[in-house]
Amino acid sequence: MTIKIGFICTGNSARSQMAEGFGKYYAEKLGKDIEIYSAGSNPSGYVHPLAIRVMEEKGIDISKNRSKSLEEIPLKELDYVITLCGDAAENCPVVPNANTYHWGLPDPAKAEGTEEEKLQTFRKIRDTIQEKVENLIKNI
């Protein structure tokens, strides 16, 4: 039976996109029958260029991904829902009947400073997401 995982955030431009990329990578690498989705409660309309860049550093291409709304994924069919919203002001949706986990992570798209400082923030969040996604997929 195929397991379906949805990584849900507000904008679907950075955190959930990186999680989707790692989810697909680890599902394939570990030979798991898992479908991976990501979506946002208020999609930004784009995948953040720095998210694309830091994922390329890990050999994962998310450049063809697009920001999706909750209506564009099989929300009611999800077995696992992972919300990645970090700020209390963000609007993480609730999906009934799914195993739900909340990984409260700051939004790297809100990082300020030089390009290099922003990249460092994206890398830190990326590495946290990578570790969490790998552990999730291994344990399913």
Active-site annotation holder among 9, 47, 52, 55: 9
Domain ranges of the chain: 3-138
pLDDT band at residue 41 under the 50/70/90 scheme: confident
pLDDT averaged over every residue in the chain: 93
pLDDT in tens, 76-131: 999 999 999 865 445 666 677 889 899 989 999 999 999 999 999 999 999 999 99
Looking at the chain, the whole-number percentage of residues with pLDDT higher than 70 is 94
85 is catalytic: yes
Beta bridge pairs of residue 119 = none
Q: What is the DSSP string of 27-86?
A: HHHTT--EEEEEEESS--SS--HHHHHHHHTTT---TT----BGGGS-GGG-SEEEE---
Active-site annotation holder among 27, 55, 84, 85: 85
92 is catalytic: yes
What's the predicted TM-score (pTM) here? Answer: 0.94
Closest CA to 65 of 26, 108, 117, 25: 25
CATH number given to 3-138: 3.40.50.2300
9 is catalytic: yes
Active-site annotation holder among 19, 92, 98, 105: 92
